[in-house]
Amino acid sequence: MEQRPPIIINRLDAERLQRLIDNALPHEQAVANLLEEELTRGEVLDPEDIPDNVVSMNSRLRFTDLTHGREMVRTLVYPHALESVDDAISVMAPVGAGLIGLKVGDVITWPLPNHTTVDLRIDAIYWQPEREKQYHR
């Protein structure tokens, strides 16, 4: 596997994500395993210490799927919020799990369930809870 860029994860997000991983359903297990790898390798910081260029949970961001040439604007959410946010992508979706903790400008090669990979680049973060001092969102 290619070297992944370093990531930073909000401590509260890490705790919530670990609960999701621990309770993953069988069809979510592959993504849960990848997400757990990311949590293990990530630098975990208190919410107040998260830089404003890092993708955290509930961040609204623009990213590009370089493999397929598609630019998207999405809000990274927990699965339970998927239906209540218009442009949501779940952190338990294959692509969503690859976004957490990346910084603007980072590119990651991320595995997909069909045994292929996708190259994702973070282009911008339009809204981030920590930047808005919403530390417990």
| Residue 23 token pair | 């309770």
pTM of the model: 0.95
Give percent of the chain with pLDDT exceeding 90: 94
Q: What is the pLDDT of residues 115-125, one digit of tens each?
A: 999 999 999 99
Residue 85 CB coordination number (10 Å) = 15
Answer for the pair 56, 13: CB distance below 8 angstroms, yes or no: yes
Tokens 């998927």 correspond to 82
Average pLDDT over all residues of the chain: 95
